[in-house]
Amino acid sequence: MFAIGFSSNKLTNTASYHSRRNNTGAGAEIGTEGPLGRILTRGERGWDIIDELKPLPTEDVIDKPGKGSFMGTDLDLILRTNGIKRIILGGITTDVCVHTTMREANDLGYECLLLEDGTGATDVGNHESAIKMVHMQNGVFGATAKCEDVCAFLDANRFDAPDNEAAIVPNAKPFPFTIRAKKTAIVMIDWQLDFTSPNGFGAALGNDCEILRKEALPNAVRILEAGRKAKCAIVHTLEAHKPDLSDCPPSKIRRCDKIGQIVDEKMGRILVKNEPGNSIEPLVAPKPGELIVHKPGKGAFYNTNLEFQLKRRGVETLIFTGVTTEVCVQTSMREANDRGFECIVADDATESYFPEFKKYALEMISSQNGIVGWRCLTEDVVGALSS
Ligand code: TIU
C-alpha cells in the first residue's frame, strides 16, 4: 500500500521566484502561509494525510514534487523491486495528479486500474471526462472500475495461496535456490566467436580460447536446452558496438585499441555488431523468439533495454552461463542483483582465460550469504528445471 503526498520541503529557485514575483500565476501561493501552515510544504499541517487514510507504519509514503508520482521519486524503483506490475489508483484530483500518475505508470509499462468512485475532482465535468479518457481507444491509459467491484475481487482472491511451481536447487551455494520456470530467464553471456574462436579478439589478446569451448560450452548447451524445455525466457548477449563506435567510450578504446580493428579477415572488425566474429557459437545459437541483447559494456544492463524486457516478461530469477566469468558474467550478475533479480551461475558453464580469476570471481558471488547471488553445477540446475 502506498500513500502519495504532494509536498516540497525546499522550493526551487524558480518556484520561489514565482511565488514572490508573480502572485497571480499558477502555483503562486506555494510556500506561502495558508490556513494549515505553508502551502504544499513538507512538515506543515496541510501536508498530513487525512486521518481516514492514515498510512500504517509498514506502508510506503512517497513525497512527490510534481503532479505525477513517478517524476523525481523512488516509486518506480520500489514497485519494480517488489515485483509489482499492476496498480490500482484512487485519490485526488482525478484530472490532475491521479491522471498524471496513471499516464506515467502506463508509459512505464504498468497495468493501471482507476477507481471511478475512489477519485474525485473539483469540477465534475473534468472528473467524468478524465475517467472516459482512460478507457477510450481500447484502454489507452488502462481500465476503470467501481470500488465495490474491486473490493469484492480482492476479497475473493487471496495472494497467499501455496506455490506449487517452485523447484529447488538443493546443492546451491550459499544455500538452496528456488526456481519458478515461468519467472526465470537463462542468460547466455557473450558466447560469441570474438571470445571463443582461435582467430578472435580473445585470442588476439594472447589468450587460450580452447579452454572456453572445452567444458563450459557443452554445459551451457545443456542448461540452454533444459531452459527451452521448461519454457524459461532465453536471453543471448553479445559485447557489440555500432560500426561507427559511437557507443564505445574513448576510455574503452584507450585500454583496448583493437576494438573496431581487423586482426583476422575471417572474423571482421573486433566487437562490432554483425561482423563474423560477433556471431554466437553455433551450439548455443539463438532460436526465433529468443532475446538477443547487443551490449556496449561489460554488463548486460548498461545501455540496453534488458531490464525492461525481463520485467515485462515477469522474470524474477536469472540463470547465468557464459564468458568470461570475472568480466562480463560477473558484471552482469552484479547489475542484475542490484536490480532485484535472484541470480545463479553454474560454475562449470562459465569460463575464464585465467583459472584463478574464475575461482575467486565465483567465490565473491556467493560469499557473505550470497552477496551477489548463488552458484551450483550444471547438473543441479538442469535437474531443477526438469523436475
Ligand atoms: N565477455 C567478456 O567477458 N568480455 C571481455 O572483455 N572479457 C575479457 O575477458 N576481456
Question: Looking at residue 160, what is its pLDDT?
Answer: 64
pLDDT at 15 over 70: no
Atom of ligand 1 nearest to the CA of 329: 3
194 C-alpha to center of ligand 1: Å?
9
Whole-angstrom Cα distance, residue 4 to residue 63?
6
For 190-194, 202-206, 232-236, 303-307, which range has the lowest pLDDT when averaged over its residues? Answer: 202-206
pTM score, two decimals? 0.78
Protein residues with CB under 6 Å of any ligand 1 atom? 190, 195, 239, 298, 323-324, 327-328
Percentage of the chain surpassing pLDDT 90?
83
Question: Strand locations in the chain, DSSP E?
Answer: 2-6, 33-34, 37-38, 60-64, 86-92, 111-120, 143-145, 167-169, 177-179, 184-189, 233-239, 291-295, 317-323, 342-351, 374-376
The C-alpha cell at 155 is 476479497
201 C-alpha to center of ligand 1: Å?
9
Whole-angstrom Cα distance, residue 329 to residue 344?
11
Catalytic-labelled residue, pool 295, 298, 311, 358: 295
CB 31 within 8 A of CB 15: yes
Pocket test for ligand 1, best of 195, 196, 207 (most atoms within 8 A of CB): 195
- Band (pLDDT 50/70/90 cuts) for residue 312 is confident
Kind of pairing, strands 167-169 and 177-179?
A: antiparallel
> What is the mean pLDDT of the segment spanning 229-234?
97
Question: Looking at residue 80, what is its pLDDT?
Answer: 87
- Band (pLDDT 50/70/90 cuts) for residue 14 is very low
Known catalytic membership, residue 242: no
> What is the mean pLDDT of the segment spanning 225-234?
97
92-107 burial, b at 16+ Cβ within 10 Å, e below that, comes to ebbbbbbbbbbbbbbe
Question: Looking at residue 81, what is its pLDDT?
Answer: 84
Question: Looking at residue 165, what is its pLDDT?
Answer: 81
pLDDT at 7 over 60: no
Residue nearest to atom 4 of ligand 1 (CA): 328
The C-alpha cell at 32 is 506561502
pLDDT at 192 over 50: yes
CB 123 within 8 A of CB 153: no
Residue scoring higher pLDDT (33 or 154): 33
Q: Which residues contact 110 (CB under 8 A, 6 or more apart)?
A: 79, 84, 85, 86, 87
Q: Which residues contact 181 (CB under 8 A, 6 or more apart)?
A: 165, 167, 230, 231, 232, 385
pLDDT at 354 over 50: yes
Question: Looking at residue 29, what is its pLDDT?
Answer: 86
Known catalytic membership, residue 256: no
Q: What is the tens place of the pLDDT at every residue in 358-385? A: 999 999 999 999 999 999 999 999 999 9
Atom of ligand 1 nearest to the CA of 322: 1
CB 289 within 8 A of CB 86: no
202 C-alpha to center of ligand 1: Å?
8
For 24-33, 282-291, 297-306, which range has the lowest pLDDT when averaged over its residues? Answer: 24-33
- Band (pLDDT 50/70/90 cuts) for residue 306 is very high
Strand partners, 236: 188, 292
Q: What is the tens place of the pLDDT at every residue in 261-273? A: 999 999 999 999 9
Question: Looking at residue 162, what is its pLDDT?
Answer: 63
> What is the mean pLDDT of the segment spanning 32-61?
92
Q: What is the tens place of the pLDDT at every residue in 78-134? A: 998 888 989 999 999 999 999 999 999 999 999 999 999 999 999 999 999 999 999
Whole-angstrom Cα distance, residue 135 to residue 41?
34
Q: Mean pLDDT, the chain, as a whole number? A: 91
Percentage of the chain surpassing pLDDT 70?
91
Atom of ligand 1 nearest to the CA of 331: 3
> What is the mean pLDDT of the segment spanning 22-44?
80
The C-alpha cell at 360 is 575467486
Q: What is the tens place of the pLDDT at every residue in 177-188? A: 999 999 999 999
278 C-alpha to center of ligand 1: Å?
13
The C-alpha cell at 136 is 477510450
Residue nearest to atom 10 of ligand 1 (CA): 327
> What is the mean pLDDT of the segment spanning 325-341?
97
Whole-angstrom Cα distance, residue 382 to residue 167?
11
Q: DSSP string of 217-230?
A: HHHHHHHHHHHHHT
Domains annotated for the chain, with CATH where assigned, are 2-156 (3.40.50.850), 166-386 (3.40.50.850)
For 2-6, 333-337, 359-363, which range has the lowest pLDDT when averaged over its residues? Answer: 2-6
Atom of ligand 1 nearest to the CA of 328: 3
> What is the mean pLDDT of the segment spanning 61-75?
95
Pocket test for ligand 1, best of 193, 252, 257, 323 (most atoms within 8 A of CB): 323
Pocket test for ligand 1, best of 239, 325, 345 (most atoms within 8 A of CB): 239
> What is the mean pLDDT of the segment spanning 151-176?
83
Known catalytic membership, residue 76: no
* Cα angle 247, 249, 254; round to 5: 135
